[in-house]
Amino acid sequence: MWYDDEGNIRKTKVRKFGKRYSDEFSRLVNGGLSLCAAGRRLGMGETSALIRGNKLLHQKSETVSHQKMVSSLRRAWSACVRRQPSVGRLTRAFKDSPAVFLKLSIYDGDWLKAFNRRHDDKGRGKRIAAKWVAKATASLKSAHASLLALEIPVQVTWTKLTEVAGLGFSRGCMHHPEIATLREELCEPVVRFRDRAFDIWLSRLASNRPKTSAQFAEVTGLRTLSPAQKMRLEVWLKKSS
């Protein structure tokens, strides 16, 4: 049950207007028709036309307000960047106006990226990245050598490498092609570590060999051996008797 535009009670359902009607209503109003005239053109009652017109005006107000805010943010960021020295200007601009940068990244991210690309210090980012990769590579290789030289063998993992090297890596840095390749090269799978540790302990304990495999496991911590290692250990232990 509903009331029509003349106040009469109707038992039929209220007609619903979809997006196509809403778009056409907006076009007619923007073209100069009054709300009621646009509504009549589409078969709407006067009340429905006024309600839809009020929503349209509210949406327009929100759109205009948003556009003004974005334009103001663009002008503020542009002025902030342009008054910075040419070297490191984007970093300096962010330090000066972090709120402007963050709001633009939310409300107008595509424009912000395009603007920053045009005003970046050309080539500087690549030079910085190359220096960082070279330094990180040297530190990781040095850390790798230190871990291999430990008296008690430890597995060379990425966590241990970065800890010894004193480097903190984000997920993005770990996926840098050169760093990713180096990681594969330096880190030890469990099987490779056990082989290395087994050989080290056989050499280190040659002059003072345990009597049994249980004693060997107790001293070395190697409690899981491959069939080939078990055979080698058995032969090695017999030489002590």
Say if residue 171 is in the same domain as residue 128.
Answer: yes
Say if residue 113 is in the same domain as residue 134.
Answer: no
Say if residue 161 is in the same domain as residue 61.
Answer: no
pLDDT greater than 90 at residue 76: yes
pLDDT greater than 60 at residue 2: no
Say if residue 179 is in the same domain as residue 201.
Answer: no
Say if residue 93 is in the same domain as residue 202.
Answer: no
**Region of poorest pLDDT, from 41-45, 151-155, 171-175:** 171-175
What is the per-residue pLDDT across 59-73, written as a single tens digit (0 to 9) for each?
A: 655 566 778 888 999
Domain count, the chain: 3
213 confidence band (pLDDT: 50, 70, 90): confident
pTM of the model: 0.46
Say if residue 13 is in the same domain as residue 40.
Answer: yes
Structure tokens at 184: 């594969």
Say if residue 97 is in the same domain as residue 163.
Answer: no
Report the b/e string of 28-37 with b at 16+ CB within 10 A: bbeeeeebbe
- Are residues 119 and 81 in contact, defined by beta-carbon separation less than 8 angstroms? yes
Say if residue 73 is in the same domain as residue 182.
Answer: no
Instruction: Give the sign of the dihedral formed by CA 57, CA 59, CA 62, CA 67.
Output: negative
Say if residue 155 is in the same domain as residue 143.
Answer: yes
Say if residue 147 is in the same domain as residue 219.
Answer: no
State the residue range of the domain holding 209.
191-238
Say if residue 207 is in the same domain as residue 175.
Answer: no
Rounded to whole angstroms, how far apart are CA atoms 215 and 231? Answer: 16
pLDDT greater than 90 at residue 157: yes
What is the per-residue pLDDT across 172-209, written as a single tens digit (0 to 9) for each?
A: 566 678 888 999 999 999 999 988 988 888 888 888 88
Rounded to whole angstroms, how far apart are CA atoms 47 and 45? Answer: 6
Q: What number of CA atoms fall less than 13 Å from residue 144's CA on the CB side? A: 14
pLDDT greater than 50 at residue 10: no
| Nearest residue to 208 via CA among 186, 236, 173 | 236
Match 């349209």 to its residue by tokens. Answer: 56
Last residue of a domain, one of 104, 119, 134: 119
Say if residue 71 is in the same domain as residue 135.
Answer: no
